[in-house]
Amino acid sequence: MHTVVVGTSGVTASDVLAVARGGARVELSAEAVAALAAAREIVDALAAKPDPVYGVSTGFGALATRHISQELRAQLQRNIVRSHAAGMGPRVEREVVRALMFLRLKTVCSGHTGVRPEVAQTMADVLNAGITPVVHEYGSLGCSGDLAPLSHCALALMGEGDAEGPDGVVRPAGELLAEHGIKPVELREKEGLALLNGTDGMLGMLIMALADLDTLYKSADVTAALSLEALLGTDKVLAPELHAIRPHPGQGASAANMLAVLKGSQLTGHHQDDAPRVQDAYSVRCAPQVAGAGRDTMAHARLVAERELASAVDNPVVLPDGRVESNGNFHGAPVAYVLDFLAVAAADLGSIAERRTDRLLDKNRSHGLPPFLADDAGVDSGLMIAQYTQAALVSEMKRLAVPASADSIPSSAMQEDHVSMGWSAARKLRTAVDNLTRIIAIELYAATRAIELREGLTPAPASQAVIEAVRAAGVQGPGPDRFLAPDLAAADAFVREGHLVTAVESVTGPLQ
């Protein structure tokens, strides 16, 4: 099994995906263990002094003015975890919780939190045992970190609350720890606070969304090319020299991908046939510009994610010179903004894909295709309601594109009076990514059927490879009306699992 070693300088997006989705094992480097021990010595020294230090010998948030005596400090750390584990609503996905835990461990291992090495090792042990704390949908405002979600994880380290075992069954966390020989942690000064105070949930969801969107943007280039082909459009607008004079990197990459898919097609360039036209509609002609802008948005979001992955997000933090200082680095604004930006771009990509599908189904704009791609229009409805489903998904994505980060709601007796709502931005982006997958799947379904209805014209080799692969995956071709939901589900899985990109790349080589 793949092993990810956590040091003091952060981790990579690939590391996060390996742990969250691939079940990779986690080990602490010797450097990290040494840094943990050194920072803990500083915290212990401060804890022994009579002077109050936030997070070490005081309360938290609006209660930070109270000095806590030594005999109550262990109780204080337990209490902050218990009281902050106040989430509600549906359970969050296992991969999100694993990313959340791993990223908190990443910050702990930076040596800036003051957590003891044995606490960090327990975090790694829980991940390696496949134990996943139950975390709920609601509870984070994205400031002071993802407090409630991280608290549910910290609660499991203490042997309290519920968790899912490697068998997928939810049980008391204490039972699961005991079965795997893991001793529950007994938190000391600052440790409870250090386990709760980070942007780890929203960052983990950003990293996974970027991985999914990378595949989806390639998939959208493919379905746009298939729709252009099915509509007998022209590929001249994809020429590299046209995109070189407007040098947005994403636009050039999308155009190059579409051109690669269409290479060798006999369907393109029929503008002066029976239904002459000067140029294709925007949804076809401007596909690289829209998808390209989304790609460039992703590039910015990756830069933000990389910076956050290299960060130690906690409050207060232990500095190399021995100071323990309060700060505002836990504020989720940098991550929240790009999560929202990605939802806007995804909504627009879904919108343009739906417009192409609608064009394929409209006999007045499809240049010779049957109404709704039906076998016997009137008797058969064809893909009429598949487009309704796609339109409903697009409408939902427009609502999801409303930025969460533009909102703020005061909390903690106005001490935390401006929050990022980054967790909410991340949760809605996950829904948007799911919906975008379905939208692209419906365009794929319509475009492949339309190409097959163009009798006497040979599609591009890459298009033919897609048609063969998607039919082999259980997505049926043209014919009389049938129960459509299974076909659409199979098309969704084909896109979601990356098979669409794989089919094209078997002909074109790697897409950009």
Query: Consecutive 10-residue runs of the chain (512 residues): their mean pLDDT?
Result: 93 98 98 96 87 73 72 86 96 98 97 96 98 97 90 98 98 98 95 92 98 98 98 96 98 98 93 73 97 98 97 91 89 96 98 98 95 97 98 98 95 87 97 98 98 96 98 97 98 98 98 98
Contact 361, 382 (CB under 8 A): yes
Q: How far apart are CA 256 and CA 243, in angstroms?
A: 9
Q: Give residues with Cβ within 8 angstroms of 105, minimum separation 6.
A: 6, 26, 120, 123, 124, 127
- DSSP letter at 270? -
pTM above 0.85, yes or no: yes
Q: Of the candidates 191, 183, 265, 184, which has an alpha carbon nearest to the alpha carbon of residue 232?
A: 265
User: Which two three-digit tokens encode residue 324?
Assistant: 């323990």
Q: Is 258 helix (H, G, I), strand (E, B) or coil?
A: helix
CB proximity list for 272: less than 8 A, separation 6 or greater: none
Q: Are the C-beta atoms of residues 374 and 381 closer than 8 Å to each other?
A: yes
pLDDT score, position 261: 98
Could you tell me the maximum CA-CA distance found in the chain, to the nearest angstrom? 90
Question: Phi and psi at residue 231, in whole multiples of 5°?
Answer: -90, 10
User: How far apart, in whole angstroms, are the C-alpha atoms of residue 187 and residue 348?
Assistant: 47
Tell me, rounded to whole angstroms, the distance of Cα 260 from its chain centroid.
28
Give me 430's structure tokens.
Answer: 């996950």
pLDDT in the model for residue 18: 98
Please state the φ and ψ torsions of residue 281, each to the nearest 5 degrees: -65, 160
Single out the residue of 423, 509, 445 nearest to residue 205, CA to CA. Answer: 423
pLDDT score at 502: 98
- Angle at alpha carbon of residue 411, lines to 405 and 415, rounded to 5°: 105
DSSP 3-state of 90: strand
Strands, DSSP E only, in 72-195? 88-91, 132-133, 136-138, 162-164, 170-172
pLDDT in the model for residue 268: 94
**What pairs with residue 160 in β-bridges?**
none
Determine the pLDDT at residue 46.
Answer: 84
Q: Please tell me whether residue 6 adopts helix, strand or coil conformation.
A: strand
Coil, helix or strand at residue 40: helix
Of 429, 448, 432, 433, residue with least CA distance to 491: 448
Q: Check residue 274 and give its pLDDT.
A: 66
> Using the 8-state DSSP alphabet, how is residue 161 labeled?
S
C-alpha to C-alpha distances, 17 to 100, 207, 332, nearest whole angstrom: 11, 8, 21
Residue 147: CB atoms within 10 Å:
29
Residue 26: helix, strand or coil by DSSP?
strand
Is the Cβ–Cβ distance between 453 and 370 less than 8 Å?
yes
The 10 Å Cβ neighbour count of residue 415 is 13
> Catalytic positions, please?
54
Whole-number pLDDT of residue 272: 62
- Residues 467, 459: Cα–Cα separation, whole Å: 10
